[in-house]
Amino acid sequence: MELTANVTRQGLLNTLIIDDEEHQRNSLERLVKMYCPTLNVVGQADGVKTGIEAIQKYKPDLVLLDIRLADGLGFDILERLRPFDFKVIFISAYEQFALRALRYTSLNYLLKPVDPDELIKVVEKASLQLRSE
């Protein structure tokens, strides 16, 4: 917990990745490390239950959240944690969830496979919003 607080003070956004597919989580973490130096990945989770536990443990500034998880939807996490004090970027292979995602005040909605340029844009937007708050 102490490390998380110190990292935030250094200007990095503590980030949690939630996706039910391990290769997707690892791929996204690699992209974040390569292209998003303002993010610090503090952990990963693979479902609704583990996602809630990880959010409570790590208290991230930003959550990169898949929509379809093995044990429910990413929206289920947000419903159970309302009100939540972190920003959300939805990452999904399904376009049909985009409108619903915007209702949760997500910063953006990226389609898989994630384009590094798009990731950079939404992370910059997240950084600006979090710093202005």
CATH says 2-123 is which class?
alpha beta
Q: Is the pLDDT of residue 2 over 50?
A: no
Range with the poorest average pLDDT among 20-29, 31-40, 89-98, 107-116: 89-98
**What are 97-133's pLDDT values in tens digits?**
666 666 766 568 888 999 999 999 999 988 888 878 7
Which residue do the tokens 């993010």 mark? 39
Q: Cα separation of 4 and 94, whole Å?
A: 32
Q: Where are the domains of the chain?
A: 2-123
Phi-psi region of 105 (alpha: psi -120 to 50; beta: other; left: phi over 0): left
* Residue 105 CB partners (closer than 8 Å, separation 6+): 88
DSSP single-letter state for residue 115: P
The alpha carbon of residue 80 and the mean position of all alpha carbons in its chain are separated, in whole angstroms, by 16
Q: Cα separation of 123 and 36, whole Å?
A: 7
**What are 57-113's pLDDT values in tens digits?**
999 999 999 999 999 999 999 999 999 899 999 998 766 666 666 676 656 888 899
